[in-house]
Structures are given as structure tokens and as C-alpha cells.
Structure 1
């Protein structure tokens, strides 16, 4: 019998760990390993979150939010994401290679490799999102492969091949693009749970106002800097806060400006579609929004007063004075919120929707201005039981003594339709 030589080095054994280049430092008395891992490795070395079975050391994961991150990766080649945080319960091994012992090889156990696995502190939605995106790509490739076997049409085959190559490129990105991972060595489970609480407590959530200023993917946000230069808004927009409290001296927040822009472009309850985002130019959106602001500034006396007011009176530092100090004179915007429906961003969104609808019907801007002027005397707040908002088909969109319409989307959309119809068939009071 002929002898057979076997090379053991050619055989792959069962592997339950991965090795990365890492930096070893200290934080809060704990050893911390800092490394970067391929996106595709996340669900291998970190537990895959199950929305139906929350991790006792973490919060329940939202599958919709997780799927959204996967879609974000697919849609945005220039994606960005913060470092994930995990806890090492004793399974990691670090082999230093630098003289000072800070740089070395970090061997990390796989999530299914035993009890000494990593535990996620922050990043569950990113882990699940990448996993769902990998599964989506794999399923799509399998579907295309089946379709390729079934078709003999050359044109269709070429199209399917193009789709397949695009999906393979997306899968390759998950293997070749990296995200940061900080691993804290902490054996104590109680202290580990406290780490999660500390991270959550110390993270300052991003307000919608701040998001509106910096999220340049959406045209309503991207055009914000130009829109707020309109005289009605200049110096009177809160760039940090979403809520207009009684002491807030501004007319509205940055988020509300973006909401008005969306209402002008897509209606008060709508979103600007991806197709519209791709076809609209920034200048078109800015021009249309400023046209609306011009009209309401001329038509409504309360907004005209805000437009004409000295910007210096809106100094935000005045709002920070303690309540026991001598109160500073209120701004016109503060007075508007006290006495007029126009101090409500909801009402302004409705008017933006009316503006959009009438323009689409071919109504000239001058006629829209005159129509709004006829509504001006009906803008007093709170809403009285004998007002047009209580005695017409708008009554379902207001509560008695309210200073704003009901903010549910269906009410905002309904009220927009009601007021738009009034242009052609006004109630007797107008």
C-alpha cells in the first residue's frame, strides 16, 4: 500500500476566536483594549441582540432602529458611526509587542464560544443592523441566482448580473470597512451593569434642533442656514432647543424651521420623498420657503411685529436669568405665543400647507396674501367658543381654549384642507 503524507498545517481546526491589533490603556481603574474590527465581525465576537429576549445587562433592542442602521450603511458610502463599547468577562488575551506593553495582539472569544464572551455595553442596534444587512444581501443574492437559472433572456440576465455585482460590492464593504471597539475588562457583573447606566446617564442626547442644523442628508435641514436669514427668523431661532417655553425669547427652534420647509415643499403631514430630495435644488427650496415667509410676514400683524423687532432684544442670555430677578421685557415672539395661534408652530405648518396647495392650484402670491389677511383677525388665542375654529368644519381640529391646533398629523392635514377650501368657499365670518 502506498504511503500518504498529510500536512497538518493545511487543516483548519475549529476556531472560536479572532485576533486584532489593539492598544491597551487604563480608564477608571480598568484595563481597556482599543481596536477596530470589520463590520462583518460584529455579530461574530459580540452577542447578537434578540428583540424578543432582551439582554439582562442591556436595554431592549428596537428592530426597526437596527434595520435603519443597516439601511444607512447601504445608502451612505460615507457613513460614520461611533465606537462600540463592550465588557470583557475574562475571555480576552493580550500579547504585547511594544516595549512599553501598550500595543499588541488581542485575541477575542467568539460570542458563541463559551461563558467568557464579551458583553455589549453600547452598540446593540449597530450589531443587529449589520447582521440584518448581511442577511438581506445574502437573501437577495440567492434570489438573483435562482432567477439567473430560470431565465434565458440576455437583457434580463445582464441586469441580474449587475444587481448581483452591486450586492457583492456591498457585502465586501462589510468585510473591509471597520468600526471602533473599546473593550473594558470587568469581571464583576454588578459593576458591569453600573457601567451601562453610567454610559446612558452621561450621554447627552442630540436634540431635534441640533440634528436639523447638522443633518445635511435632508434638504429641509441643509437649507436651514439660508432660510433662517429671512427677516422674520433672523436672530429669533433657538439653535439648541426644540420646545418653546414661556421664557424662551425666540420665535421657534431650528427643528421647527425645517418642519415649515417640509410643509412648504411636501405639505404639513408629508415627508420629502427620496425622489424629490434628489431632484429639488437647494435654491428652489430656499426660494419657496422664503416666499411663504414673505407672505405671512405681510399678511399677519403679529408676525409683522416680530419681523420688525430689533434682533438685540432676543439675546438668549436674557432667558437664563433666574426667575426671582426683575423680569426682562418680553419679545414680540413671546407676546405672540401668549395671544395668537400664530405663536404655534402647528398653525404655521398648516398655513405653509395652505400656501403649497393654493400655489399648486395656480393662485398668485398676492391673492394668497390677501386671503391670509382676511384670516388675521381670527388668529386670537385662546380659541373661543364663538370663533371660526369652533363653529365651522375646523372645530374637530381644536380644543376649547387652546392656543394651537391639535398636533396629530391627521388634524394638521385636515385643517390644511379646510382652510384651503375656504379660499374658494369662505364661511360667512371671513
Structure 2
């Protein structure tokens, strides 16, 4: 038996060790960028399927509903449109320009990379659209399979030709939508990046120039600010109070949120620990501050709070919810925690206190922080008058009031205020509501003034008749 020689140029794609695409190569900023035009099928083969349950380094959290909405849009619109996708990867690419015309600022050629580097290609911008493409293909394959099964069942049961034709039409429409997955194309840029930190900055720059990026997302991705660089270290650390307890995307935590703080609120505390409650970090400081040192001091502060304030320790170990903290005591309020950070900065920076001494003072405050600011609390009796509203679960948000509160608490520490050492007074007992003896009696079952007028006229007529009768009786005597 003879064996035919296989032309090496006809190697099946599954056996090839490289992926290749026609591309352009150019510069954007200081980065090399490859521009491609891929089908959704090629795109979903190029990157891993985004997982909404797993955070993507250098990107924001995925909202499944948003991806599902794009999938529906792609399926239902044969004239669909989508902005370009941006991917990132290290320098894993080869680029051949043989025979292609050369231009000074752009090259045309064949981009290739080894399949073993497939996992090095990540999404920089467009993860909802990419997940939407994955979902769209899942839906289309499933719907086509169901439609074919229904058509086969209709033929077996002798359904009329009109019914079979209806299923045929449905199958054609679904297959046409699926064909777009393999024939339509969209722009894809692949940016060559050196690190996840650079990728975060790129994502921030993209989102900051678009509409609708939250301060929490900015804090996580804008590496031009020292406290933001420190935040990345803080959030990745194994800190009991913060790990899995920070809202990453929204600027504020909602009342029933399981999170204690948002990323924006954490970075504000980091800032206060670095430059004080009302301090601002200059451009020079952003360039020269050591983010590792800033992060280390912040983590020490959060660990100290966990050790000195029992409710926060309980929250860190899932024994109490963030919602309960917010509803019942000061310790669930982000601004109050920022005030405590301001107190530490004030005592350490301006009064030469050691951090262990600050921790001891915070421990003394603990018993006064496990309730709201009721009228018998030190917060209403000794803090600045405008710092807390009656029975509030946190300080007033006005900057001047918060600054005054930081200074007042610092003075309590310096002066050794006796009320701090004393036991917390109980909240005043609410007086029993007075009981109205007439409560429940309907004195005016009929609110019509006509009825009242009629009753009044009838009474006057009775009086008039009685008066006339008496006058007549007197006249006849």
C-alpha cells in the first residue's frame, strides 16, 4: 500500500502551533498596537470567556444583565453595530511585512503568536460585548436545535405544511443570525503592555474619557495618584476587615449592602492617614510617596480598628452584618471611621503620640461607639454641638463639622478626658405616649356642614316655638 505525500502547506489548522492574522502595526502613546478585523467567532477563540463571578485584573466587575442585553441585541439586529474591542498582551507577537508597502508610521503584515501564549491575551475594554458574543452563540445553537426538533416532531405528527413552513422560517432566521457570527467583523486592537499596573492605568484613561466611571473605579485604576497605588496593595492584602468586604464599583454602600466600605471610602481613609483629614496630596507627593509604605500604614490602622473595636472584629469574622453596624452604631459609618483616621494622624503627626498609644485611646472609645449618638452619649454631651444630629448613626457630613470633631476627639485624648474612661451612659428612656381619653370616639361621623346647619336651624326653631308658647300663656292669664 502506497502512502501519498502530504503537501506541508496544507497542514490542518488544529495541528499548527501558531495563530496568524492579517494586521496593521502602529504606535499609540509609547505602546505597540496591532489592529485586526475579526469575526465574533475569531474573537471568542482569541480570549477566554469572561466569568461574572470572578474579578478580572485590570477591569471592573461584570454585570451579567448587560452582557445578556448585548447578546439579545446581536441576535435580533442584522444591522448591528459595536465599537472596537481592546485587548492587551505582553510582547509575544511576531510580525512579517514581506512584500507589503512600507509607510513611515504604520505597517501592514501578518501578525502571529505561539498557541502556548493564548492565555497571555486579556481583555482591556469590551468584556461585556465579548461575553455577549459567547452568550449569543449559546442561545443561537440552543434555539436552532430546539426549532429543528419541533420541525421533526411536526412532520412526524402530520402537521400541515403551513406549520412545517413556520418552523422552516424560524430555522432560516436563526441560522442567518448565527452566520453573522462567522461572517461579520469588528475592529480589535491588541495593545502590548508590560504589567497589570499599566493595564489598570489604560483602563482608567479609557473610562475616564467616557461617560460614567465612578470614583471607586477611578481609585482602583488611576495609578497616577499615590493613594490609589497604595489602594491596590491594600485591597489585595489579607486584611480581615477589608478582604471581601469592599464595594469595588459603587461610590457608596447601600443600606442593606454586605460591604462595610466602598473602594472610594477606603482610599479616602488612606489619604487621611497620609496627609490628615483636610489634607491634599500634591503632584510632587504623588510622584515621590512610597505606595508600599502608605499601604502598610493603612493596613496597620485597619488591623488596629479590628483589634480595639469588638463590633468590627465581629464583622471581620462574619458574626455581624454591615447593615446591622450601619443601623445601630457609629462603627458602621464610613465618615466616622475616617474621623478616627484623622485623629490618629493628628496625634501621631502633631503631638508625637506613638501608634500603640493611639490604639489604647481608640480602645477606650470603643464602649462609646457601639450605639447611635443618643442624648446621653459623649457625642451629644461633649462633641461640638453641630457634629451629630440627635440619635444619628454617624457624624454630619459638613467638612467644617468633621474637622471640628477630629480636633475635639484629639483634645479628649491629650487632656485625658474622664468621660472617655467612664462607662457609657444608657440612652434616655422614651416617655410613654399620652393617652387621649377621647381617642377612638368619632365626634363627627358626618363631616357635612349641611347637616350641622340643619341641626342648628331645628334647634333655633324649637327655641322659638317654646318662646312663643310661653308668651301666649302669659297673655291669656
Q: TM-score range by the shorter chain?
A: 0.3 to 0.5
Larger Rg computed on CA atoms: 2
**TM-score w.r.t. structure 2 length?**
0.42
